[in-house]
Structure 1
Amino acid sequence: GRFWCFCRLVYMPMSYLYGKKFVGPITPTIMAIREELYSVSYNEIDWNKARDTCAKEDLRYPRSLLQNVIWTCLNKFVEPVLNCWPINKLRDTALKNLMKHIHYEDESTKYIGVCPINKALDMICCWIEDPNSDALKLHLPRIYDYLWLAEDGMKAQVYDGCQSWELAFIVQAYCSTDLVNELGPTLRKAHEFIKSSQVLENHPNSETYYRHRSKGSWTLSTADNGWSVSDCTAEALKALLLLSKISPNLVGDPIKGERLHDAVDCLLSFMNKDGTFSTYECKRTTSLLEVLNPSESFLNIIVDYPSVECTSSVLQALIMFKELYPGYRKEEIGKCVKNASKFIEDKQRKDGSWYLKLSFGVNYLTF
C-alpha cells in the first residue's frame, strides 16, 4: 500500500496471473498473436533466457547486482518451495486476497481502472476466476473507454481521457479574455460538466484497500474513474472560483459552498509532511525502495514523488480560494502556501525554468 498507485495496481494482477500459473486455451487468435509478437517460433523460445532479455532501446534502468541476486533466488529457490504443499496454501490465501483488491479497484472505478494496463489485466483475472461472473460482464463494455480510432488504425489511450483536467484549463483561459459574454453558452455547459464531475463521497473501506480520500476531488477524466488527483482537483477548483464571479444568468448557478469546502479539504489531505504535493496520493515511503523497482524501462515508479506541477496548481487554487473565503481553514492554508512556495522556489533552476515530472512544459507551472 506504500507503493505508487500505478506500480501496485499494475503488478497486482500480474502477481495473480503468475501465482495462478494460468494457461488459457490455445485458439487461432492466440496463435496469430504469438506469430506477430515474437521474432522466432513460439516453441523455440528459451524462456529462461527471455527472463533477462530487454531491447536496448527500452533498457533505461539496467538491473543492479543486488536485484539480479534477489530475482535469481526468488526464481530458483523460493518459487519451487511456494509450489509445494503445505506452503502452497499460503499462496492460495494470498491469491484470494489479491482478488479482493482487484475487485475493489474495479468496483471503485466503475470497471475503468486507473489505466488501460491494469484494466486489461484485471479483466483477465476476473475471467480466470469465473468466466461467467458479473465482474467480467461489467468489464467488457468499458473497454471502449480506452479505444481510439485514428487515421492509421485502432489505438489504446494511456488513460480513459482527461476531460476534467483539460476543461478546467479551457475555462480558465476563456475567463482571462474579454469574450466571456460571447462564450456564455459554452461556459455554462463547461460549468455543469465540472460540477457533475466532482467525486462526492469517499470510497467505502478505503483505508483497508490503501486508497486516499476522494470526497470533494476531481479525477483526470470523469467521476466514474474514481481516482482523485491533486492538480486536477486544484485546476477544477480554480475554474469554479472564476465562474462564481460571473453572472449566473450567463454561466449557470455557482457550485454550493459546502462542495468547495470539500474540495479544499481534499487538497489539504494531499499535502506531504514538507508541504509539497504528489499526484494521486501523499508520498508514502522512502525513495530507498526504488531498489525493488522490477521494471527495466521506467525509472522512479515505486514512490509518488512531489512535483512542482501539482504543488503549483494547489498553491494557486488555495490562494484564490483564500481571497474569496478568507475564514475557512485559514491557518492550515497559510502554512501550506508558505511551504509550497518555498518548495517551488527551491526547485527553480539557474536558467529560471523548472524540471517537470509530468513533462508538460515549463509554461504549465506558471499558467
Structure 2
Amino acid sequence: MGYLYGVRFQMQETELVLALREELYTQNYHSIDWPAQRSYVHEVDLYTPHSMLLEGVYAILDTYEQCAFPPLRRAAVRRSYELVVLEDENTDCQDLGPVNKMMNQIVRMHAEGRESEAYRKHYERRHDFMWLGKEGMMMCGTNGSQLWDIAFMGQALIETGLGEEEEFRDSVVRILKWLDHCQIRENPKHFKSAWPFSMKTQGGPEQSAVDAAKSKLLVVCIAPTLARGFRAGC
C-alpha cells in the first residue's frame, strides 16, 4: 500500500469502477472528504480513541505530502518495492493473505509490466484464495490453514489418549507424515522458518510453527510406538 500511495497509482475509470462507486457509497464519490475519513471510525470499531498526539502527527504528515522531498520519496518507494519482492519470493507469490497479495500483484505489474514473470505468477496464485459459494465468488482469508488444523488434531488425539487406540492409529501416523512433509527444512531466502501456516509452498513463518512442533513432539514422546511405525513406513 505504501508503494501504491507513494507513486499515486490510480486505476483507469471504467464502467465497472463507476458502478462500484455508485453501489458502495451513499453520496457522490467526488464529494467525499477523504482526509476526514481517516478519523471517522464507528464507535464499535474504535478500540482506542485517537489521541491529540496522533491527530497532530497526521497533520504533520499531511503537510509533508504537499511538499515531499523527491529523493527521499524515490528511496522510500524503492525500498517498499524491495520488500514486496522479498515477500513474493518467500511465499511463492501467495503472500501473507489475499489482501496484501492483490496489492503486491498491482505493485509488480506497475514496476515490471503485465508481461513479467512475477505478474504471471501472481495471476495464477489468485485461484488459491477464490471459491464459489451460494452467494457467488468468495475470497478466503488465506489459502487454507492445513498445517495449523492438523497440528491441533494431533495434539487433541494424543492428549486425550485416543491416539494410542487402534482405531485412530492410522490417523496419528498420517498426521505425523503430514507434519514431517510440511516442515521447512531449508531456510527460505530472506528469513528462517520451521513450519508455515497452511502448506509448505506458502512458507510464511507463523505461530502455527509452535503448535506443529508441539504436536510432533507429543506423538514422538508420548506415543513412541506410533512414531516408530511412521519411520518404518517412510
Equivalent of residue 139 in structure 1, options 105, 112, 122: 122
One-letter amino acid of the structure 2 residue matched with residue 195 of structure 1: D
Distance in structure 2 (CA, Å) of the matches to 1:18 and 1:247: 54
Quick one: which amino acid aligns to residue 205 of structure 2? S
Q: Quick one: percent identity of the two aligned structures?
A: 28
- 1:89 paired with 2:65, answer no
Deviation larger for 150-159 or 56-65: 150-159
Paired residues of 1:195 and 1:255 also in contact (CA < 8 A): no
**Is 1:109 aligned to 2:95, yes or no?**
no
Q: Is 1:108–1:203's contact at 8 Å kept on the other side of the alignment?
A: yes
Q: Does the aligned pair in 2 maintain the 1:191–1:243 contact within 8 Å?
A: yes
SS at match of 1:246: helix
Which deviations, in whole Å up to 9, do the C-alpha atoms of 1:187-209 show, x marking residues without a partner?
333222111111112222x3xxx
In the other structure, the counterpart of 1:276 is none
1:6-21 superposed matches below 5 A:
14-21=1-8
Contact 1:146 1:156 in 2 (8 A): yes
Over 3 Å counting, the alpha-carbon distance change for 1:241 and 1:228 in structure 2 is same
Look up the equivalent residue of 1:81 and give its one-letter code: C
CA distance in 2: counterparts of 1:28 and 1:241, whole angstroms: 56
Aligned partner of 1:220 among 189, 194, 197 = 197
Are 1:240 and 1:255, in contact at CA under 8 Å, matched by a contact in 2? Answer: no
Unaligned residue ranges in structure 2 (runs of 5+): none
Unaligned runs of 5+ in 1: 1-13, 257-367
Change (3 A) 1:246 1:19: same
Match of 1:27 among 14, 32, 39: 14
1:243 positional shift: 3.4
Question: CA contact under 8 A between 1:240 and 1:254: conserved in structure 2?
Answer: no
Which letter maps to 1:227?
A: G
Distance 1:24 1:254, change over 3 A: farther
More helix by share: 2
1:123 counterpart residue number: 105
Give the 3 Å change call, closer, same or farther, for CA 161–254 of structure 1 in structure 2: farther
**1:64-83 aligned within 5 A:** 64-76=51-63, 78-82=64-68
Deviation, 1:137, is 0.8
Determine the C-alpha separation between the residues in 2 that align with 1:233 and 1:35. Answer: 44
Shift of 1:148: 4.0
Which aligned segments of 4 or more residues in structure 1 are displaced greater than 6 angstroms? Answer: none
The alignment's TM-score, normalised by the length of structure 1, stands at: 0.57
Q: What is the TM-score normalised by the length of structure 2?
A: 0.86
- RMSD across aligned C-alpha pairs, in angstroms? 2.4
Equivalent residues, number: 228
How far apart are residue 178 of structure 1 and its match? Answer: 6.2
